Amino acid sequence: MAKVFIAGKIPDKAAALLKTTDLTIDMYTDDKLIDAATLKEHVADSDFLITPLSTKVDQDILDHAPKLKLIANFGAGTNNIDTDYARKLKIPVTNTPIVSTVSTAESTTGLIIALMHRIAEGDHLMRTTGFNGWAPLFFLGHELQGKTLGIIGLGQIGQAVAKRMHAFDMPILYTQHHRLPVSREVELGAKFVYQTELLEKSDIVTLHLPLNNHTQHLLGAKEFAQMKSTAVLINAARGPIIDEDALTTALQQHVIAGAALDVYEHEPEVSDELKQMKNVILTPHLGNATVEAREAMATIVAENTIAALKGEPVKYIVNGL
Protein backbone atom coordinates (compact mmCIF):
# COMPACT_ATOMS: atom_id res chain seq x y z
CA MET A 1 0.00 0.00 0.00
CA ALA A 2 1.27 3.48 -0.89
CA LYS A 3 2.36 5.73 1.97
CA VAL A 4 2.27 9.48 2.52
CA PHE A 5 4.46 11.07 5.17
CA ILE A 6 3.35 14.40 6.62
CA ALA A 7 6.43 16.07 8.12
CA GLY A 8 4.59 18.28 10.61
CA LYS A 9 1.20 18.91 12.13
CA ILE A 10 -1.18 20.51 9.64
CA PRO A 11 -4.97 21.08 9.72
CA ASP A 12 -7.14 17.98 10.13
CA LYS A 13 -8.74 18.75 6.77
CA ALA A 14 -5.77 17.14 5.01
CA ALA A 15 -5.95 13.87 6.94
CA ALA A 16 -9.72 13.72 6.48
CA LEU A 17 -9.30 13.89 2.71
CA LEU A 18 -6.39 11.45 2.65
CA LYS A 19 -8.35 8.91 4.72
CA THR A 20 -10.83 8.57 1.86
CA THR A 21 -8.08 6.75 -0.07
CA ASP A 22 -6.10 3.57 0.47
CA LEU A 23 -3.03 5.53 1.51
CA THR A 24 -1.14 4.71 4.67
CA ILE A 25 -0.79 8.00 6.55
CA ASP A 26 2.30 8.65 8.65
CA MET A 27 2.49 12.02 10.42
CA TYR A 28 5.19 13.67 12.53
CA THR A 29 3.34 15.16 15.50
CA ASP A 30 6.06 16.58 17.75
CA ASP A 31 5.83 20.33 18.43
CA LYS A 32 9.52 20.72 17.55
CA LEU A 33 10.53 20.93 13.89
CA ILE A 34 11.48 17.58 12.47
CA ASP A 35 15.21 16.90 12.30
CA ALA A 36 17.01 15.54 9.24
CA ALA A 37 17.59 12.06 10.70
CA THR A 38 13.93 11.57 11.54
CA LEU A 39 12.86 12.87 8.15
CA LYS A 40 15.20 10.45 6.37
CA GLU A 41 13.82 7.56 8.41
CA HIS A 42 10.23 8.32 7.47
CA VAL A 43 10.72 9.14 3.79
CA ALA A 44 12.75 5.98 3.18
CA ASP A 45 9.59 4.03 2.32
CA SER A 46 7.25 6.92 1.48
CA ASP A 47 5.61 7.45 -1.90
CA PHE A 48 4.47 10.99 -1.15
CA LEU A 49 5.77 13.74 1.12
CA ILE A 50 3.74 16.62 2.53
CA THR A 51 6.08 19.06 4.23
CA PRO A 52 5.82 22.45 5.93
CA LEU A 53 7.94 25.19 4.38
CA SER A 54 10.01 25.23 7.59
CA THR A 55 11.39 21.76 6.81
CA LYS A 56 14.49 21.51 4.64
CA VAL A 57 14.28 18.89 1.91
CA ASP A 58 17.72 18.89 0.32
CA GLN A 59 19.66 16.48 -1.86
CA ASP A 60 20.65 14.34 1.12
CA ILE A 61 17.02 13.88 2.14
CA LEU A 62 15.94 13.10 -1.42
CA ASP A 63 18.68 10.49 -1.78
CA HIS A 64 17.07 8.66 1.15
CA ALA A 65 13.64 8.61 -0.52
CA PRO A 66 13.91 6.20 -3.46
CA LYS A 67 10.11 5.72 -3.82
CA LEU A 68 9.10 9.38 -3.67
CA LYS A 69 6.67 10.45 -6.40
CA LEU A 70 5.56 13.87 -5.11
CA ILE A 71 6.61 16.59 -2.68
CA ALA A 72 3.63 18.73 -1.70
CA ASN A 73 4.99 21.79 0.08
CA PHE A 74 2.65 23.33 2.65
CA GLY A 75 3.42 26.93 1.76
CA ALA A 76 3.64 29.26 -1.22
CA GLY A 77 7.42 29.45 -1.15
CA THR A 78 9.62 26.46 -1.97
CA ASN A 79 13.08 27.74 -1.03
CA ASN A 80 13.20 24.97 1.61
CA ILE A 81 13.32 22.32 -1.13
CA ASP A 82 16.06 21.52 -3.64
CA THR A 83 13.63 21.75 -6.55
CA ASP A 84 16.35 21.35 -9.19
CA TYR A 85 17.54 18.06 -7.73
CA ALA A 86 13.95 16.88 -7.35
CA ARG A 87 13.45 17.61 -11.05
CA LYS A 88 16.50 15.48 -11.90
CA LEU A 89 14.89 12.67 -9.92
CA LYS A 90 11.60 13.36 -11.76
CA ILE A 91 9.82 14.21 -8.51
CA PRO A 92 7.24 16.99 -8.95
CA VAL A 93 7.26 19.68 -6.28
CA THR A 94 4.05 21.61 -5.67
CA ASN A 95 3.18 24.59 -3.50
CA THR A 96 0.05 26.28 -2.19
CA PRO A 97 -0.21 29.67 -3.92
CA ILE A 98 -3.12 32.12 -4.07
CA VAL A 99 -4.99 30.87 -0.98
CA SER A 100 -2.74 32.76 1.45
CA THR A 101 -2.94 36.05 -0.45
CA VAL A 102 -5.72 37.64 1.59
CA SER A 103 -4.29 36.62 4.96
CA THR A 104 -0.79 37.85 4.14
CA ALA A 105 -2.09 41.12 2.72
CA GLU A 106 -4.24 41.70 5.81
CA SER A 107 -1.32 40.87 8.10
CA THR A 108 0.93 43.28 6.21
CA THR A 109 -1.70 46.01 6.46
CA GLY A 110 -1.89 45.38 10.20
CA LEU A 111 1.88 45.67 10.58
CA ILE A 112 1.92 48.96 8.68
CA ILE A 113 -0.84 50.44 10.82
CA ALA A 114 0.66 49.12 14.05
CA LEU A 115 4.11 50.49 13.26
CA MET A 116 2.97 53.92 12.09
CA HIS A 117 0.55 54.37 15.00
CA ARG A 118 2.95 52.77 17.53
CA ILE A 119 0.27 50.29 18.64
CA ALA A 120 2.60 47.49 19.75
CA GLU A 121 4.83 49.99 21.50
CA GLY A 122 1.80 51.43 23.28
CA ASP A 123 0.64 48.00 24.36
CA HIS A 124 4.06 47.34 25.90
CA LEU A 125 3.94 50.68 27.71
CA MET A 126 0.55 49.90 29.25
CA ARG A 127 1.76 46.49 30.45
CA THR A 128 4.88 47.99 32.08
CA THR A 129 5.18 51.60 33.23
CA GLY A 130 1.72 52.79 32.21
CA PHE A 131 0.97 56.44 31.39
CA ASN A 132 -0.18 59.61 33.13
CA GLY A 133 -3.20 60.27 30.92
CA TRP A 134 -3.97 61.86 27.58
CA ALA A 135 -1.75 64.77 26.59
CA PRO A 136 -1.48 66.72 23.30
CA LEU A 137 2.11 65.75 22.55
CA PHE A 138 2.18 62.30 24.13
CA PHE A 139 3.20 59.20 22.12
CA LEU A 140 2.60 60.63 18.66
CA GLY A 141 2.60 58.39 15.60
CA HIS A 142 1.84 59.14 11.95
CA GLU A 143 -1.25 58.99 9.73
CA LEU A 144 -1.12 56.85 6.60
CA GLN A 145 -3.04 59.32 4.46
CA GLY A 146 -0.69 61.12 2.11
CA LYS A 147 2.30 58.92 2.93
CA THR A 148 3.94 57.16 -0.01
CA LEU A 149 3.90 53.36 0.06
CA GLY A 150 6.62 51.58 -1.88
CA ILE A 151 5.92 47.94 -2.79
CA ILE A 152 8.80 45.80 -3.99
CA GLY A 153 7.13 42.93 -5.82
CA LEU A 154 3.60 43.58 -7.08
CA GLY A 155 2.48 39.98 -7.54
CA GLN A 156 -0.71 38.57 -6.07
CA ILE A 157 0.12 39.51 -2.48
CA GLY A 158 1.66 42.85 -3.40
CA GLN A 159 -1.43 43.76 -5.41
CA ALA A 160 -3.69 42.74 -2.54
CA VAL A 161 -1.69 45.02 -0.24
CA ALA A 162 -1.89 47.86 -2.76
CA LYS A 163 -5.66 47.44 -3.03
CA ARG A 164 -6.07 47.75 0.73
CA MET A 165 -3.62 50.60 1.25
CA HIS A 166 -5.03 52.58 -1.70
CA ALA A 167 -8.17 52.92 0.44
CA PHE A 168 -6.04 54.87 2.95
CA ASP A 169 -5.39 57.54 0.29
CA MET A 170 -1.73 56.61 0.00
CA PRO A 171 0.26 57.26 -3.18
CA ILE A 172 1.71 53.88 -4.20
CA LEU A 173 4.98 53.19 -6.00
CA TYR A 174 6.04 49.72 -7.07
CA THR A 175 8.98 48.00 -8.69
CA GLN A 176 9.56 44.54 -10.14
CA HIS A 177 10.98 42.94 -13.29
CA HIS A 178 7.81 43.30 -15.35
CA ARG A 179 5.51 46.30 -15.35
CA LEU A 180 1.78 45.64 -14.92
CA PRO A 181 -0.74 46.67 -17.58
CA VAL A 182 -1.61 50.36 -17.28
CA SER A 183 -5.25 49.48 -16.59
CA ARG A 184 -4.21 47.47 -13.53
CA GLU A 185 -1.91 50.25 -12.35
CA VAL A 186 -4.81 52.71 -12.53
CA GLU A 187 -7.07 50.31 -10.65
CA LEU A 188 -4.55 49.96 -7.82
CA GLY A 189 -3.41 53.57 -7.86
CA ALA A 190 0.16 52.30 -8.35
CA LYS A 191 3.01 53.85 -10.33
CA PHE A 192 5.94 51.85 -11.69
CA VAL A 193 9.42 53.14 -10.80
CA TYR A 194 12.89 51.66 -10.50
CA GLN A 195 14.01 50.48 -7.09
CA THR A 196 16.30 53.43 -6.33
CA GLU A 197 13.49 55.94 -6.88
CA LEU A 198 11.11 53.83 -4.81
CA LEU A 199 13.51 53.75 -1.88
CA GLU A 200 14.22 57.47 -2.10
CA LYS A 201 10.57 58.55 -2.22
CA SER A 202 8.70 56.05 -0.04
CA ASP A 203 7.67 56.63 3.56
CA ILE A 204 6.87 52.93 3.96
CA VAL A 205 8.60 50.13 2.03
CA THR A 206 7.06 46.66 2.02
CA LEU A 207 8.49 43.49 0.45
CA HIS A 208 6.40 40.93 -1.44
CA LEU A 209 8.68 38.79 -3.57
CA PRO A 210 10.11 35.27 -3.42
CA LEU A 211 13.52 34.34 -2.10
CA ASN A 212 15.98 33.24 -4.77
CA ASN A 213 19.56 33.92 -5.86
CA HIS A 214 18.53 37.31 -7.25
CA THR A 215 16.59 38.53 -4.21
CA GLN A 216 18.81 37.35 -1.35
CA HIS A 217 20.08 40.48 0.46
CA LEU A 218 18.18 42.64 -2.03
CA LEU A 219 18.18 45.30 0.68
CA GLY A 220 21.40 46.04 2.53
CA ALA A 221 23.41 48.99 3.79
CA LYS A 222 23.49 50.71 0.40
CA GLU A 223 19.73 50.47 -0.03
CA PHE A 224 18.94 51.60 3.52
CA ALA A 225 21.10 54.68 2.93
CA GLN A 226 18.88 55.50 -0.07
CA MET A 227 15.74 55.55 2.09
CA LYS A 228 14.36 58.53 3.99
CA SER A 229 15.52 58.77 7.59
CA THR A 230 11.82 58.87 8.52
CA ALA A 231 10.94 55.76 6.48
CA VAL A 232 9.98 52.35 7.84
CA LEU A 233 10.41 48.87 6.39
CA ILE A 234 7.96 45.94 6.42
CA ASN A 235 8.96 42.37 5.61
CA ALA A 236 6.33 39.63 5.50
CA ALA A 237 7.96 37.83 2.56
CA ARG A 238 11.21 35.96 3.32
CA GLY A 239 13.84 36.91 5.88
CA PRO A 240 17.03 36.60 3.79
CA ILE A 241 15.75 39.18 1.30
CA ILE A 242 17.08 41.64 3.88
CA ASP A 243 20.65 41.76 5.15
CA GLU A 244 19.56 41.65 8.79
CA ASP A 245 22.90 42.84 10.20
CA ALA A 246 22.77 45.86 7.91
CA LEU A 247 19.17 46.51 8.94
CA THR A 248 20.11 46.38 12.61
CA THR A 249 22.88 48.91 12.04
CA ALA A 250 20.57 51.16 10.01
CA LEU A 251 18.02 51.16 12.82
CA GLN A 252 20.61 51.73 15.54
CA GLN A 253 22.14 54.65 13.64
CA HIS A 254 18.72 56.11 12.71
CA VAL A 255 19.36 55.70 9.00
CA ILE A 256 15.71 54.60 8.84
CA ALA A 257 13.03 55.10 11.47
CA GLY A 258 11.63 51.64 12.12
CA ALA A 259 10.74 48.17 10.89
CA ALA A 260 8.09 45.49 11.24
CA LEU A 261 9.34 41.96 10.59
CA ASP A 262 7.33 38.77 10.30
CA VAL A 263 10.22 36.76 8.82
CA TYR A 264 13.92 36.59 9.65
CA GLU A 265 17.22 35.87 7.94
CA HIS A 266 18.12 33.10 10.40
CA GLU A 267 14.58 32.05 11.27
CA PRO A 268 13.48 31.12 13.86
CA GLU A 269 16.40 32.93 15.53
CA VAL A 270 16.06 36.67 16.11
CA SER A 271 18.90 38.86 17.28
CA ASP A 272 18.81 40.39 20.75
CA GLU A 273 19.50 43.79 19.18
CA LEU A 274 16.23 43.71 17.23
CA LYS A 275 14.32 42.45 20.26
CA GLN A 276 15.47 45.43 22.30
CA MET A 277 14.42 48.12 19.83
CA LYS A 278 11.19 49.97 20.60
CA ASN A 279 10.79 51.04 16.98
CA VAL A 280 10.69 47.43 15.72
CA ILE A 281 7.69 45.09 15.66
CA LEU A 282 8.49 41.36 15.62
CA THR A 283 5.91 38.67 14.84
CA PRO A 284 6.50 34.90 14.48
CA HIS A 285 5.91 34.32 10.75
CA LEU A 286 2.16 34.88 10.99
CA GLY A 287 1.57 36.12 7.44
CA ASN A 288 -0.96 33.46 6.46
CA ALA A 289 -1.65 32.12 9.94
CA THR A 290 -5.43 32.11 9.70
CA VAL A 291 -7.82 29.19 9.94
CA GLU A 292 -9.14 29.98 6.48
CA ALA A 293 -5.77 30.10 4.74
CA ARG A 294 -4.28 27.06 6.45
CA GLU A 295 -7.34 24.89 5.77
CA ALA A 296 -7.22 25.91 2.11
CA MET A 297 -3.52 25.00 2.02
CA ALA A 298 -4.27 21.66 3.63
CA THR A 299 -6.88 20.97 0.98
CA ILE A 300 -4.40 21.66 -1.81
CA VAL A 301 -1.63 19.38 -0.50
CA ALA A 302 -4.10 16.58 0.18
CA GLU A 303 -5.84 16.85 -3.18
CA ASN A 304 -2.50 16.92 -5.00
CA THR A 305 -1.38 13.81 -3.14
CA ILE A 306 -4.60 12.03 -4.02
CA ALA A 307 -4.26 13.06 -7.66
CA ALA A 308 -0.69 11.75 -7.78
CA LEU A 309 -1.85 8.48 -6.20
CA LYS A 310 -4.42 8.11 -8.96
CA GLY A 311 -1.98 9.06 -11.69
CA GLU A 312 -3.90 12.25 -12.41
CA PRO A 313 -2.40 15.73 -13.05
CA VAL A 314 -1.43 17.71 -9.94
CA LYS A 315 -1.73 21.47 -9.55
CA TYR A 316 0.88 24.13 -8.86
CA ILE A 317 4.03 22.28 -9.91
CA VAL A 318 7.00 24.60 -9.42
CA ASN A 319 9.89 22.57 -10.86
CA GLY A 320 8.78 22.09 -14.43
CA LEU A 321 7.64 18.45 -14.41
Query: What are the helix and strand counts (H, E) for the chain?
Result: 13, 12
- 164 labelled catalytic: no
Give phi and psi for 127, each to the nearest 5. Answer: -90, -5
What single string gives the DSSP state of each residue in 64-86? T-TT--EEEEESS--TTB-HHHH
Identify the active-site residue in 185, 267, 273, 303. 267
List the beta strands (DSSP E) in 36-171: 48-52, 70-74, 93-94, 149-152
Q: Which of 42, 208, 238, 294 is catalytic?
A: 238
Residue type, 218: L
What is the signed CA dihedral for 266, 270, 272, 276, rounded to 10 degrees?
A: 140
How many other β-carbons are positioned within 10 Å of the β-carbon of residue 280? Answer: 22
Q: Does the annotation mark 285 as catalytic?
A: yes
DSSP β-bridge partners for residue 3: 24
The catalytically annotated residue of 164, 187, 285, 303 is 285
Asked if 267 is an active-site residue, the reply is yes
Catalytic residue list: 238, 267, 285
